Structure 1
Amino acid sequence: MTPHGNAGHGGPNGERYRFGDILVDAAAHTLSRAGAPQTVEPKAFSVLLILLRHAGELVGRDDLLDQVWGHRHVTPGVLTRVIAQLRHALGDDSQHPRYIQTQHALGYRFIGDLHESVAPVPAAEPEEHEEVAVLRHAMPEAAAVAANEAIAPFAAPVPTAGADFTTRRKTSDQRRWWLAVAALLAIAAAGYWFGQRDTGVLAPSAASVAVLPFASLGERQGGDYFAEGLGVEMIDALAGVPGLKVVAAPSPGGRGEVDVKRLGAQLGVATVLGASVRREGSRVRISARLSDARTGFTLWAHSYDRETGDVFALQSDIANEVVQALVGVLPAGEIEAARQSLARRLTPTRNVAAYDAYLKGEQRMREQAGGDARGADSAINFYRGALAIDPGFARAQAGICQAEITRFEDARDSAAFARAQSACEQASKMDPSLREVSLAMGDLYRTQGNAKEAIGYYERAVSDPALRVHAYLGLAAVASTQGHGKQAMAYFERARQWAPRDPRVAQKRGYHLMVNGDLAGAIASYREALEYAPDNPDLWSSLGGLYAISGEAQQASRAYERSLEIKPSYEALNNLGSLKFEQGAYEQAAALFRHASEIDPGDFRTWGNLGDALTASGSTAAQTRAQYEQAATLGRRYLELKSDDAQSLALVAWYAANLDRAGEARALLGKAESLGTERGEVALLGAQTMARLGDPAAARRHIDFARKHGIPQQRIEALPLLRSLTATVEPSSEREPGAAR
């Protein structure tokens, strides 16, 4: 790894760094903030120096462990602790960093602005005018060299980056005038240099466009779905143009003007496309504008007024205008192919009424992703409506398949899987070449545990840029299930590169980290997802669950309450009920679980939670048997389809123990432990199961193993069945507790 060009001033014996009010002196091994010394341990200081020497670069977590600790046989937690110590010393905020940026599960990057060395300047140093000094201070080395040549006849040379400087005011008006001219020449040289150099991932590609959400105008009730759907279709269509980088821009909010230049810089694009949609009677009017993100100037603007039946041709016209505007920078010979691709993508059906119903279904699926638990059910109804109008509408059939899979995964509803299988098979018969069908089939096989088939379908879906992010997330999920953590993270990173601000990417990555025991990384990922989707109740509920697992009850409660404020859902009710249970408020917990079961009776976990709350509040085994029977029945159906879900196996083992089915309980728990995932949660459930079966020695082994894998003591003591067992625990061991022993 090559050190960053601006890092390290004063030579090997005088390496010093200044950023903000921070001064770091490597030789003296000191760190000060606003002149006040800050104490950090030697390892922390070494980590800071490495980050500073590679300022702006991502330094991998393993690289830091290698360089500072000399090997990787230390847990990543020591690095997390050191970074937290540095942030405290620097006055940095992990959620809004100024200096140290976390690239979750990958490493860290120094993002502060490094200033020149503050060492005293020798008296013989040539004088330099203030205006030139300030200009040079913000100038890269190549531009400074050009500036030196420009002002050589009039002033002392401008030092290149890394040299010391001073500022002394001159009074000569003539010299001031010449220096102003020189400054303009230097600015021109710097502008040329910046225009020619490779500025990295944020440098806008000439063939790149950000598409803003299409705005809905007019009085039409509920018309947002149409405008929003057209915008999404436009993104997907343009993403299929070879050589064109397409980014979905976030909603600007309100009705204010978009700062095109700022948005372009944030997203690294050269152009921005925005449009408004108005439907009145049988006509639709779309006003579109393509802007240059560097200057903010409009490249073209046009209003299209057509019959609603011409909406497909209208979309193609707009897309072709974008392509035409970028004709000079798109690969030669691919323009006509791009136009044909756009026409195919933007005409999924010839029937506008079917298309309208399809767009409504797509909106409901976006609402499902945004936290509406019933969005998938509503979407299926609209997709079916689209197929009733156009029986050959393959994308609508693939939509049904995706919605049923979502239902199966979110609610553990085994009946949804059979419906998904039927819908996917039908979509494949209608159009086996359709990449949406490939994606749906990949999801179907993934949920079934058939990795080989899933990977094959995902690799086909990856060829469609509009589906690439979803396909990469699917491949990451398969790799995660197979225990290939590094490969999974690589797929997450690919998805992030295609969609830098997509909350799905951070959410799925967070789930992967949680399953593999990295709770701190999982929490950070979910918090990142919430930066992009702050009103998503599911994300808040999941974050609350992670806080609860980590033993941060207050944080968990706030997250659950925020989720329920946005939209009541059975997931949030379940999670808040679990928190109340751990706090000993069993009757409140039971009421929350009952409410959750009324919203969605298909999730076996809700019934099991209700059984637990009733048992803890004093109900007899006979009174709770119905809840555990329902939980076990639904859970077994789910496991027939998803046999690699370790926590679900352990849950059904617990239900079996409460139903006095000792053999079944031990067998299921043994299978859960053999998978080697979610080890802490599985061990905690195993401890309860063994205690219920009257085997306190096995229960204590499970408790000890749960502690070793991150389960806080307060969570263990919150479980009535384990409370009396926590005082005496067998000696620590890394061996699996062994449910069958």
Structure 2
Amino acid sequence: MATFAESYDEKAATAADARKALGANLALISALEQHDNRWRARLELREPARGRSLGTRVVDVPVTEPFAFADSLYHGALALLRLPAGAHTAESDLGVRGAGTLRFLMQGVGRRRAAPSADDRRRAIEDFDTACRTEPGAATPRMWLASAELGQYVATKDSSWLARAEASARAAVSLDGGRAGPHRTLASVLGYRKRHAEALAEYERACALDPTDDEAWHLWGRTWLRLGKPEEERKVYEAAIARRPHCYKPRWWLAAWYFYNRHFGEAKQAYREMIRCAPDLATGYASLGGLLVLDGEYDRALDTLRLAATLRPTAVSYVNLGTAYFNSGRLDQSVEAYNQAFQFGEANYHLWYDLGEAYFWLRGRPDQARDAYRQALRVGREEIAARAQRGISVDPMIPANLATLLPKLGEPDTARIMLADALAADSLNAMVQYCAALTCWQLGERDRALDWLRRAVAGGYPVVWLRDSPVHREWRGNPRFDSLLAGAPSKSGTAPSPGK
């Protein structure tokens, strides 16, 4: 199930767009018109995979009856989906009773979703404020006003907007504490105020009132993480799965939790469960494929990642494809995959770095590699400078990765400076430690390189990559390096799958 907001953010204009972006296997499409003081809507249920229509409904209501129009849309959609109609009405769901209030509320929602400028954000706030004044006892306009004020704080960093947002959110909860939305909005405001313990209670209440509120469940879990209690975060996601076992999103969150906490076996199983719930969503296949690459299961990874790219081509899928080809020695495919990643993502420093590595180690073309490395260095330095200008903390992986390519460009002193910056930022990061090993090896500091490599492996760097990557050709035969390889699992076949 995907919300309107998700389809709006993904700019899904057709059923095919919904399948590609959201993995939808059914799409409810609406066309709304106003003619001769009447509202007319056409609803169509489509099956994106086959491109066929499963049914239509037409709604025709006078413009003076907006709630009747909303009720008709609701019942028409349920009829198409063959779902039972509940006792809900548009008035109770929307949380307002007056037609004028509804006009300003919906107008504000529309402006807030577009919100391309400060003026649009201001006008949305004015609309919500007007809705609050036309119906002072309604919680929903207050909730939307609080959300818009919070958005204004995020955009301007003016703390007065945060104070106003909290006051509006608390007013919404006071007016109707039986709605999930006001509790979720108040929790978001409290999160920005760093009052995470208070936010937890509001998220929990929101989830109890509306178990289908994915945003509230996810933010409830993430708030536990901000309090330094990752096990409690996991329990939230497991509770969401138990409450809604057919939904893929909680399984996605749990899979990501397992991955970031280095429980890779459990992560793979969780991604498989996610795929079972959302078989047309590329994200599950792309994530599972990346984990299979980590485990050295390159053939399975390639099959899975190709499927992800077929459903929705992304830079992540093609980078993971490139790495699978790289580690299994398939030079042409590796270069092609890394190159194709540029088609679907920004030309960031890491894409240039990966392409340079493929040229350097697999094709023996140091001239082409150097060109890619120089681009990686330029873009990486620009990103470091941009983060510093915005006051964002250093990403240690940028100087760590750049340090590994600088010796190949004949800049050993700059490599040492970059490596020192990376280690100063996060010397306990296994990926930073691995980059330190690569840099020191190229600088001729072999013992120091092996010390860093041992620490990286102890921290979780995949031993199968040491075994398979062409980067380590000249390391092999070193007793200390070979002893690290002893912990690698037996090598899986790397020949292309039958029929490939």
Instruction: Please indicate the TM-score interval, normalised by the length of the shorter structure.
Output: 0.5 to 0.7
In the alignment, the residues of structure 1 paired with residue 2 and residue 345 of structure 2 have an alpha-carbon distance, to the nearest angstrom, of 37
Corresponding residue number in structure 1 for 2:214: 469
1:122-141: CA deviation from partner (whole Å, max 9, x where unpaired)? xxxxxxxxxxxxxxxxxxxx
Structure 1 717/723 Cα, relative in aligned 2: closer, same or farther at 3 Å? farther
The answer on whether the counterparts of 1:580 and 1:586 sit within 8 Å (CA) in structure 2 is yes
Q: Out of 233, 256, 263, which is 1:518 matched to?
A: 263
2:469 is the counterpart of 1:722: no
| 1:448-459 to 2 correspondences below 5 Å | 452-453=194-195, 456-457=198-199, 459=201
Corresponding residue number in structure 1 for 2:40: 284
Unaligned runs of 5+ in 2: 5-11, 44-56, 79-84, 129-143, 170-179, 407-413, 485-500
Query: Letter of the aligned partner of 2:405 in structure 1?
Result: N
Corresponding residue number in structure 1 for 2:417: 663
Unaligned runs of 5+ in 1: 1-209, 214-220, 228-249, 255-274, 288-301, 328-334, 362-378, 403-417, 733-741
Query: Letter of the aligned partner of 2:316 in structure 1?
Result: E
Query: Letter of the aligned partner of 2:251 in structure 1?
Result: A
The answer on whether the counterparts of 1:441 and 1:457 sit within 8 Å (CA) in structure 2 is yes
Q: Out of 391, 400, 408, which is 1:653 matched to?
A: 400
The alpha-carbon deviation at position 530 of structure 1 amounts to 1.4
- SS at 2:438's partner residue? helix
Structure 1 357/592 Cα, relative in aligned 2: closer, same or farther at 3 Å? farther
Structure 1 689/482 Cα, relative in aligned 2: closer, same or farther at 3 Å? farther
Question: Which structure's relative contact order is higher, taking Cα pairs within 8 Å and 6+ residues apart?
Answer: 2
1:134-166: CA deviation from partner (whole Å, max 9, x where unpaired)? xxxxxxxxxxxxxxxxxxxxxxxxxxxxxxxxx
Q: Out of 625, 630, 635, which is 2:374 matched to?
A: 625
Structure 1 397/343 Cα, relative in aligned 2: closer, same or farther at 3 Å? closer
Scaled by the length of structure 1, the TM-score of the pair is 0.44
Structure 1 319/253 Cα, relative in aligned 2: closer, same or farther at 3 Å? closer
The answer on whether the counterparts of 1:530 and 1:539 sit within 8 Å (CA) in structure 2 is yes
| 1:342-357 to 2 correspondences below 5 Å | 342-344=94-96, 350=103, 354=107
| 1:77-476 to 2 correspondences below 5 Å | 253=26, 279=32, 281-282=34-35, 283-284=39-40, 305-307=60-62, 310-312=65-67, 314-315=69-70, 342-344=94-96, 350=103, 354=107, 390=124, 392=126, 421-422=155-156, 432=166, 433-434=168-169, 452-453=194-195, 456-457=198-199, 459-464=201-206, 465=209, 468-476=213-221
The alpha-carbon deviation at position 630 of structure 1 amounts to 0.8
Corresponding residue number in structure 1 for 2:322: 577
2:443 is the counterpart of 1:696: no
Query: Letter of the aligned partner of 1:484 in structure 2?
Result: K
Structure 1 326/712 Cα, relative in aligned 2: closer, same or farther at 3 Å? closer
Structure 1 603/498 Cα, relative in aligned 2: closer, same or farther at 3 Å? farther
Structure 1 718/380 Cα, relative in aligned 2: closer, same or farther at 3 Å? farther
The alpha-carbon deviation at position 631 of structure 1 amounts to 2.5
| 1:42-53 to 2 correspondences below 5 Å | none
- SS at 2:280's partner residue? coil
The answer on whether the counterparts of 2:187 and 2:202 sit within 8 Å (CA) in structure 1 is no
Query: Letter of the aligned partner of 1:531 in structure 2?
Result: R
Corresponding residue number in structure 2 for 1:506: 251
1:329-384: CA deviation from partner (whole Å, max 9, x where unpaired)? xxxxxx99x9667424999851598489579x6xxxxxxxxxxxxxxxxx776x99
The alpha-carbon deviation at position 671 of structure 1 amounts to 3.7
The answer on whether the counterparts of 2:125 and 2:145 sit within 8 Å (CA) in structure 1 is no
The alpha-carbon deviation at position 503 of structure 1 amounts to 2.0
The alpha-carbon deviation at position 546 of structure 1 amounts to 0.9
In the alignment, the residues of structure 2 paired with residue 346 and residue 544 of structure 1 have an alpha-carbon distance, to the nearest angstrom, of 52
1:665-706: CA deviation from partner (whole Å, max 9, x where unpaired)? 1342354343x6xx4x45444432333444322322343344
1:393-414: CA deviation from partner (whole Å, max 9, x where unpaired)? 6659959999xxxxxxxxxxxx
The answer on whether the counterparts of 1:507 and 1:525 sit within 8 Å (CA) in structure 2 is yes
2:344 is the counterpart of 1:599: yes
The alpha-carbon deviation at position 708 of structure 1 amounts to 4.4
The answer on whether the counterparts of 2:25 and 2:280 sit within 8 Å (CA) in structure 1 is no
Corresponding residue number in structure 1 for 2:81: none
2:422 is the counterpart of 1:672: no
The alpha-carbon deviation at position 528 of structure 1 amounts to 1.3
- SS at 1:306's partner residue? strand
Query: Letter of the aligned partner of 1:513 in structure 2?
Result: Y
The alpha-carbon deviation at position 723 of structure 1 amounts to 2.8
Corresponding residue number in structure 2 for 1:687: 437
Corresponding residue number in structure 2 for 1:561: 306
Structure showing greater Rg: 1
- SS at 2:61's partner residue? strand
Query: Letter of the aligned partner of 1:315 in structure 2?
Result: A
In the alignment, the residues of structure 2 paired with residue 400 and residue 603 of structure 1 have an alpha-carbon distance, to the nearest angstrom, of 34
The alpha-carbon deviation at position 326 of structure 1 amounts to 7.4
In the alignment, the residues of structure 1 paired with residue 231 and residue 243 of structure 2 have an alpha-carbon distance, to the nearest angstrom, of 19
Structure 1 509/445 Cα, relative in aligned 2: closer, same or farther at 3 Å? farther
The alpha-carbon deviation at position 551 of structure 1 amounts to 1.0
The alpha-carbon deviation at position 316 of structure 1 amounts to 6.0
The answer on whether the counterparts of 1:683 and 1:705 sit within 8 Å (CA) in structure 2 is yes
The answer on whether the counterparts of 1:602 and 1:634 sit within 8 Å (CA) in structure 2 is no
Corresponding residue number in structure 2 for 1:487: 232
- SS at 1:502's partner residue? coil
Query: Letter of the aligned partner of 1:724 in structure 2?
Result: E
1:241-296: CA deviation from partner (whole Å, max 9, x where unpaired)? xxxxxxxxx98859xxxxxxxxxxxxxxxxxxxx9967455423589xxxxxxxxx
Query: Letter of the aligned partner of 1:350 in structure 2?
Result: R
The answer on whether the counterparts of 1:589 and 1:613 sit within 8 Å (CA) in structure 2 is yes
In the alignment, the residues of structure 1 paired with residue 334 and residue 146 of structure 2 have an alpha-carbon distance, to the nearest angstrom, of 40
Corresponding residue number in structure 1 for 2:176: none
CA RMSD of aligned residues (A): 5.4
The alpha-carbon deviation at position 386 of structure 1 amounts to 7.8
- SS at 1:661's partner residue? helix
In the alignment, the residues of structure 1 paired with residue 317 and residue 74 of structure 2 have an alpha-carbon distance, to the nearest angstrom, of 41
The answer on whether the counterparts of 2:294 and 2:462 sit within 8 Å (CA) in structure 1 is yes
Structure 1 665/390 Cα, relative in aligned 2: closer, same or farther at 3 Å? same
1:439-494: CA deviation from partner (whole Å, max 9, x where unpaired)? 68977998xxx894456556545543458532332343354466533212112123
- SS at 1:284's partner residue? strand
The answer on whether the counterparts of 1:277 and 1:284 sit within 8 Å (CA) in structure 2 is no
Structure 1 610/310 Cα, relative in aligned 2: closer, same or farther at 3 Å? farther
The answer on whether the counterparts of 2:327 and 2:468 sit within 8 Å (CA) in structure 1 is yes
The answer on whether the counterparts of 1:353 and 1:389 sit within 8 Å (CA) in structure 2 is no
Structure 1 428/579 Cα, relative in aligned 2: closer, same or farther at 3 Å? same
Query: Letter of the aligned partner of 1:628 in structure 2?
Result: L
| 1:723-738 to 2 correspondences below 5 Å | 723-727=473-477, 728-729=479-480
The alpha-carbon deviation at position 557 of structure 1 amounts to 0.8
Query: Letter of the aligned partner of 1:600 in structure 2?
Result: G
| 1:24-35 to 2 correspondences below 5 Å | none
The answer on whether the counterparts of 2:124 and 2:148 sit within 8 Å (CA) in structure 1 is no
In the alignment, the residues of structure 2 paired with residue 668 and residue 720 of structure 1 have an alpha-carbon distance, to the nearest angstrom, of 24
In the alignment, the residues of structure 2 paired with residue 663 and residue 543 of structure 1 have an alpha-carbon distance, to the nearest angstrom, of 36
Query: Letter of the aligned partner of 2:403 in structure 1?
Result: A
Number of residue pairs the alignment of both structures matches: 408
Query: Letter of the aligned partner of 2:279 in structure 1?
Result: P
Corresponding residue number in structure 2 for 1:34: none
In the alignment, the residues of structure 2 paired with residue 462 and residue 525 of structure 1 have an alpha-carbon distance, to the nearest angstrom, of 24
**Quick one: percent identity of the two aligned structures?**
16
Worse-superposed segment, 311-320 or 567-576: 311-320
The answer on whether the counterparts of 1:496 and 1:505 sit within 8 Å (CA) in structure 2 is yes
- SS at 2:366's partner residue? coil
The answer on whether the counterparts of 1:610 and 1:627 sit within 8 Å (CA) in structure 2 is no
In the alignment, the residues of structure 1 paired with residue 376 and residue 279 of structure 2 have an alpha-carbon distance, to the nearest angstrom, of 35
Structure 1 537/693 Cα, relative in aligned 2: closer, same or farther at 3 Å? farther
